[in-house]
Amino acid sequence: MGECTHNCSTCGEKCSAPQTDNPHELSRIKRVIAVVSGKGGVGKSSVTAMLAAAMNKKGYSTAVLDADVTGASIPKMYGVRGDVQSDGIGMYPVKTEDGIKIISSNLLLENESDPIVWRGPIIAGMVKQFWTDVIWGDVDYMFIDCPPGTGDVPLTVFQSIKIDGIVVVTTPQELVSMIVEKAVNMANLMKIPVLGIVENMSYVVCPDCGKRINVFGDGKAVGETAQKFGLPVLAEIPYDAKLVAAADGGKMDVQTFEYINPAADILESGLPVNTH
């Protein structure tokens, strides 16, 4: 066998899962969950922020590694600005008002609106450093806000970080089945379990009578896809102006979002501790 490229689909050898990098020696991270989506704008970062906030409110030490380097939005959603401290030992995450530890490319920029115009390998290298060079300390649940799609950077995330499970975020407008299938195939290739699907922006709740109104068709697309792949729908999130206001106002850590709780409960009960 030649040198391992970690692309198991082109290799006939039987080997164990690709070798991942160790986190910083001062990090003790119990569970790592990657949040992925097929494309941008479906609410992946919002779901990441809500899941982390829900686990934090349950009393777990929680962290978010923002790997969506070019579309970094986690600091803004939590109302956090610079300034990441570092010393000869490593880099230190910044804490939100509610105590969630975060690291993001946006925290390293002088102006949060500065664009990041780096090529894929540089971006991927930065994500890797967020894992290996950041002193995370004790973390019960780390969430990784992955870049959308199945490109260079998500691949690096999956290859360098030992991930315990993947959460797929989708909306009913997407080509749900194809997007989920891609995510599942990629996860299988990397030997990472897919924990389930979070369905976002599929319905609204009538403010007067509380009735659920499916905005897109009969509202079955995501459920049927989940069934096809034998995956649970972890949560169904309505289109909610409260969520937009919290994200824009930097209050995603202190606000509660009851509709994310089923997903948080599953993560709490269904994931083994696997200290990294």
104 touching ligand ADP, by CB under 6 A: no
| Tokens 């501790």, located at residue | 273
**Cβ 187 vs Cβ 17: under 8 Å:** no
42 touching ligand ADP, by CB under 6 A: yes
Name the DSSP letter for residue 133. Answer: T
| Binding footprint of ligand ADP, residue count (CB under 6 A) | 18
User: Shortest distance, CB of residue 173 to ligand ADP, whole angstroms?
Assistant: 12
**SS3 of residue 101 by DSSP:** strand
73 touching ligand ADP, by CB under 6 A: yes
Q: Token digits for 178?
A: 């194809």
**Cβ 18 vs Cβ 157: under 8 Å:** no
Find the binder of ligand ADP among 4, 22, 41, 86 (CB under 6 A).
41
**Among 6-14, 33-41, 89-97, 130-138, the segment contacting ligand ADP (CB under 6 A):** 33-41
Tell me how far CA of residue 35 lies from CA of 11, 166, 241, in angstroms.
27, 6, 22
36 touching ligand ADP, by CB under 6 A: no
**Among 8-16, 103-111, 238-246, 268-276, the segment contacting ligand ADP (CB under 6 A):** 238-246
Cβ neighbour number for residue 210 with a 10 Å cutoff: 7
Which residues of this chain interact with ligand ADP, rule CB under 6 A? 37, 40-46, 71, 73, 200-201, 237, 239-240, 243-244, 247
